[in-house]
Structure formats: C-alpha cells, structure tokens
Amino acid sequence: MSVPPDSVVPPPPPTGEPVPPPEPFDSAGMPSHEERQWALFAHLSALLGGLLTGAFAGLGCFIGPLVIWLIKKDTMPFVDDQAKEALNFNITLAIVGVVLLLLTLVTFGVGALLTVPIGILVGIAWLVFTIIAAVKANEGERYRYPFTLRLIK
C-alpha cells in the first residue's frame, strides 16, 4: 500500500526567530567539543608536567591542571570539574610520594626495600589512570580517579 503524494505534510515555515547560540552541552547532554578538548588537556598536562620535571621534582604534575582550572573554571563547567579532579589526584599522589620519601629517610634507607616497589606501582597507576581519565574526558564522560583526596571542591 503506497501513500498518495498529497498526504505528505510539508515542514512548517520558518518563523524568523533568531537561532539561540550553541549551549555548552549538546542536546544529548554532552559537553561541547572545546570543553572536551580542554578537559583532555587538563589530564594530559599532568603527564607532560611529570615528564618534564621528572620524578625528582614532581611538582609539574599539578601545575598544568591548576593553570587550566584557574583559566577555564568560570566559563566551562566540564573543564572545571575535570581539571579539579586531575588536580586533586596529582596532589594526592604528591602526598603519597612525600610520605614514601620520608619513610625512606626515617629508616636510613632500609625502608627503600618497601618504598621503591610501592613508588614504582604508584607511578604505573598514575600513568594508567591519567590516560584513562584523558580518554574518558575526550569522550565527554566525567571521570573520577580512585583513591583520591578531594581537597579542592
């Protein structure tokens, strides 16, 4: 059974109303491409900072997320959330690193038998979780790092 051509409903005529500007989230509730990209940068800047400053300094791990959070927190809600998450995670790992270093120093190096393997595992976890977070942020998904102190809210 075919439909006669005269029963097709034409689209409504344009009303002349201006088109609203694009929302930060699309109709499906996803962050905009620009927000996803900045959130990706927030997570990856921790990796870049860690690689540039090395394991010795380690301060670069949270400088990148901090700068991105300070610049974009008022204009991009998704970036605000993800940059804070990256910042909290890297501050938490910096605290863990300081504790491991102090434990090594207090035991006059004997504790290194325990702290070095733990430090290696923490470093591998940092790398893996940061990459997972960057991929999830690029997909528009809010990622929460495990074992993170939420110091900045």
Give tens-digit pLDDT for 36-48.
999 999 999 998 8
10 in a structural domain = no
User: Band of the pLDDT at 151, cuts 50, 70, 90?
Assistant: confident
Model pLDDT, residue 28: 55
The domain of 64 spans: 31-138
Mean pLDDT of the chain: 84
113 in a structural domain = yes
6 in a structural domain = no
DSSP structure string for 3-64: --GGGPPPPPPP--PPPPPPPSB-TTSPBPHHHHHHHHHHHHHHHHHHHHHHHHH-THHHHH
Domain count, the chain: 1
Give tens-digit pLDDT for 20-79.
444 455 545 788 999 999 999 999 999 888 878 765 556 678 888 999 999 999 999 999
